Amino acid sequence: MGIFDELEAQYNDIDNEYASIEFEAISKSWRKKEQKYKRKRELNDQAYFLFMFSRLEDRIRHESSQLISRKQASITSWKQRAAWDILPSGARDEMPFKKRLALLLEKGGSDYNLVVNYYTERNSIAHGGNFISPISMPSVISELKRLHWAVKA
């Protein structure tokens, strides 16, 4: 079982529990309790989204670093290697996330755009905001799992 599967199971356990309590509160017209558990579910979505996206970020950093190192070591023509030699080797954060992503996915392609959209959401939440667009965590989890394997050097 991979990290995404573990996180998905934990997320579902918590969300199902909160949803059950929220539903009970709705059916009994307990507005305060309903709002409390609605908020708990929102925060749970944000927490698991951030955690899962951080796993994708790490994968992108690792895979892009591997690609850069491989190109720097294998290209013998200095004219072709020059572009790779100016890039940072290793997984240091000297290179912006979107540039690393563009090394692994076609810039402007659907997967690239999806990751950029998730990155925008990540930044909003990480800096004290909320989701910018409505999301469905089951769909996001499924996409993050798929993207994790799609970003290979």
Greatest alpha-carbon span in the chain: 73
Task: Answer yes or no: is pLDDT of 115 > 60.
Answer: yes
Least Cα distance to 119 among 60, 72, 67, 69 occurs for 60
Tens of pLDDT along 45-103?
999 999 999 999 999 999 998 888 888 888 788 777 777 777 777 656 678 999 999 99
Task: Identify which has the larger pLDDT, 69 or 18.
Answer: 18
- When pLDDT is averaged across residues 7-11 and rounded to a whole number, the result is 96
